[in-house]
Amino acid sequence: MSAPKSAGEIRLIRLDQIEVLNPRDRGSRVFEEIVENIKNIGLKKPICVTPRTDASGEEKYLLICGEGRLKAYQILGEQEIPALIVDVPDEDAFIMSLAENIARRQHHPLELLSGIRQLLDKGYTVRAIAEKTGLNYHYVQQICNLLRLGEERLLVAVESGAIPINVATTIAGAGDDDKAIQAALQDAYESHALRGRQLALARRVIDRRQRLGRTASRTSTTTHSHSKVSTATVIRTYQDEVKRQTALVRKADFSQQKLLLVVGALRQLLSDENFVNLLRAEALTTMPKYLAERVWPNGSHV
């Protein structure tokens, strides 16, 4: 029989007794670091669980936070893990788990959005979400507004640092009005909110939003057909491609000029008998085929 449980107690719990409440994916590199750290120095912080009893009367636990640590223990072949026991209802356990995932320092953009959306669906206010996650109230308010508008692609761009939240809000307010969107970009540029690489990223996000729709989910279908792409967008895409092709032509011309310079220099050097004898003495009588064909078009060689 297991020992009696009490809230706030840290105990060793069997891994097979724990059920993950909000499973999530994590990067392999980050997870490998967690495993290595636990293997070398042990568990710094216990996981957090809340006790439950299943239909058969067996004691179980819902995981509130520490999924990475739990999986690391499984990988390392451990049978038990230190856990802080908190006695909370299912609803609170779910919210605590969700808030922990949102508030951690390294989260995937779509995980943050999914977490905030679930809190909204549960009926929590913007202020309550901000308090539970530790996020800025104004930031959460703008995120929630964009979620209500279905602007997931803009939200991912905000979370990944591609564009500021206020610029995303302005773009969302412009809807599908291409002139209004371009005006928003111009204002952002003039106010120094978008500069350099960030401006290029913003244009790319907006182009994808217009072509592929507002939803960023990989599994979702596009919400805008190609017929809704504006004339300005088509022209801009064409102009960008022309610029790219022009840059490639310039680069190719520059490379060809350098090659001709090298070929001319080699021909001049190889016409010097003393230089040729030096190459033979050092056993340097070969060169790449494509270069040899240009230096000796008639097939002669050193």
Q: How confident is the model at residue 5 (pLDDT cuts 50, 70, 90)?
A: very low
Pair (223, 113) in one structural domain: yes
Contact (CB, 8 A) for 301 and 266 = no
> Is the pLDDT at 10 greater than 80, yes or no?
yes
What's the structural domain count of the chain? 3
The first and second tokens of residue 154, run together, are 């803009």
Distance separating alpha carbons of residues 286 and 268, to the nearest angstrom: 17
Alpha-carbon distance values, 23 to 71, 112, 122 (Å): 11, 14, 18
With the CA atoms of 48, 50, 54 and 58 taken in that order, what torsion angle do they form, in degrees rounded to the nearest 10?
Answer: 70
Pair (113, 76) in one structural domain: no
Q: Which domain holds residue 1?
A: 1-91
Pair (116, 200) in one structural domain: yes
Distance separating alpha carbons of residues 96 and 280, to the nearest angstrom: 78
Pair (158, 191) in one structural domain: yes
**DSSP category for residue 297:** T
In a domain, 27, yes or no: yes
Pair (221, 140) in one structural domain: yes
Alpha-carbon distance values, 291 to 168, 265, 274, 277, 295 (Å): 53, 12, 21, 20, 6
Residue from 48, 21, 44 nearest 34 by CA: 44
Pair (215, 255) in one structural domain: no
- Condensed to tens digits (0 to 9), the pLDDT of residues 56-89 reads 888 899 998 888 889 899 999 999 999 999 888 8
The label of the residue with tokens 């008998």 reads 273
Q: Is 283 left (phi over 0), alpha (psi -120 to 50) or beta?
A: left
User: pTM, whole model, 2 decimals?
Assistant: 0.45
64: enclosing H helix or E strand: strand 59-65
- Condensed to tens digits (0 to 9), the pLDDT of residues 123-164 reads 888 888 888 777 788 888 888 888 888 887 888 787 777 778
E strands, the chain, in order: 10-14, 18-20, 47-53, 59-65, 80-85
Pair (57, 118) in one structural domain: no
Last residue of a domain, one of 31, 63, 91: 91
In a domain, 139, yes or no: yes
In a domain, 237, yes or no: no
Pair (44, 86) in one structural domain: yes
Distance separating alpha carbons of residues 121 and 17, to the nearest angstrom: 29
Pair (189, 78) in one structural domain: no
Average pLDDT over residues 52-57: 84
Q: What is residue 224's predicted lDDT score, i.e. its pLDDT?
A: 39
Pair (115, 65) in one structural domain: no
- Condensed to tens digits (0 to 9), the pLDDT of residues 157-185 reads 877 777 788 888 888 887 777 778 887 77
Distance separating alpha carbons of residues 213 and 150, to the nearest angstrom: 10
Q: Which amino acid is at 211?
A: R
Pair (141, 219) in one structural domain: yes
Pair (267, 225) in one structural domain: no
